[in-house]
Amino acid sequence: MSQQYRSRPLGSDVALSEAYDTALLDLDGVVYAGGHAIVHAVESLGSAREGGMHLAYVTNNALRTPDAVAEHLTELGVPADATDVITSAQAVARLMADQLPSGARVLVVGGEGLRVALRERGLVPVESADDDPVAVVQGFGGPDLPWGRFAEAAYAISRGAVWFASNTDLTIPGARGIAPGNGAAVEVVRIATGAEPQVAGKPLPPMHRETVLRTGAKRPLVVGDRLDTDIEGAFNGGVDSLLVLTGVTDAAQLIAAEPRYRPTYVDRDLRGLLTGQPEVPEDGDGFRCGGWTAGVRGEVLVLDGEGDAIDGLRALCAAAWTHAGEGACGLDARKAVARLDL
């Protein structure tokens, strides 16, 4: 994918599962939320896999080990092996091993996923700043992570330990809604220390590097629900992306996106892997998709027509992104978005 700004979602004459050899799938908000499979995910992934697409699961959530993630996916009806799972814990462990000597002690603020990944790279997890760690690594630890863990991190960093973070997602989707993510916890330590961590997870290059090394993908498609991790990560890696609207991102945020957050394709859910994608051609002063036409009148985005709401969203994206160029769209889209049942 060119690093020039994208002015509209692309079309595809064939199903995305045929156009790309590997789907690099985010988990939270794409495959499951709060431990339960998202609607249409299981059957869609099964059909894509039966058609020959390799499925890899790429998550910024460092809490669980690849074995635990694969077991959970299999229980949900999505058969997976640990080798199909790539986590930000693995990415940050590789980043740390490139800088630290084998056997280095690392203070862990997070879950078992981090500890397993560190041991795989020859690093030694410890629990206290008094254990003389040379580094601190911070990853999502779940809702029961004790507050005292942040204090241990602050003590170690103030004594000279190098600080790493698996990712900086401020939020994480769950069964009951949107909850604070690892990025919110990282901010606690940042405020206490004034330090800045080295970060490995999406959208940064260490995660893309880890994914490519572990999957061997030749024609990958990133599939995610977040503009600032999944889609930006695809942009940074120079690969195409599919945004699904089953997680964090809503229509208004997508329409307003600046270039690095604009996906190649947009669909409701993972059924989008199994279909082609419609073109969004110019139509007079606007853009057409399905039965909808979108354009700009003054400082307002307008939408006319009827049909599949996702086609209306694609048309609105084309109008907004073209108008915004290399910036973020600041047009009033409220009435246009309200017409879509998304």
3-state secondary structure of 82: helix
Tokens of 336: 């246009």
What is the secondary structure of 120-180 as a DSSP string?
A: HTT-EEES-GGG--SEEEE----TT--THHHHHHHHHHHTT-EEEES---SEEEETTEEEE
Beta partners for residue 36, in sequence order: 33
Beta partners for residue 163, in sequence order: 136
Per-residue DSSP letter, 226: -
26 has catalytic annotation:
yes
Beta partners for residue 124, in sequence order: 105
| Active-site residue identified among 28, 169, 240, 267 | 28
Cα-Cα-Cα-Cα dihedral sign, residues 72, 76, 82, 84: negative
* Nearest Cα to Cα of residue 288 among 265, 314, 310: 314
| Active-site residue identified among 26, 84, 230, 269 | 26
Q: In this structure, how many other beta carbons lie within 10 angstroms of the beta carbon of residue 94?
A: 18
* Nearest Cα to Cα of residue 50 among 11, 85, 78: 78
What does each C-alpha distance from 211 to 59, 67, 183, 208, 224 come to in angstroms?
Answer: 10, 16, 21, 5, 14
28 has catalytic annotation:
yes
Give the separation between CA 53 and CA 33, rounded to whole angstroms.
23
- Report helix, strand and coil shares of the chain as percent, to nearest 5: 40, 25, 40
- Active-site residue list: 26, 28
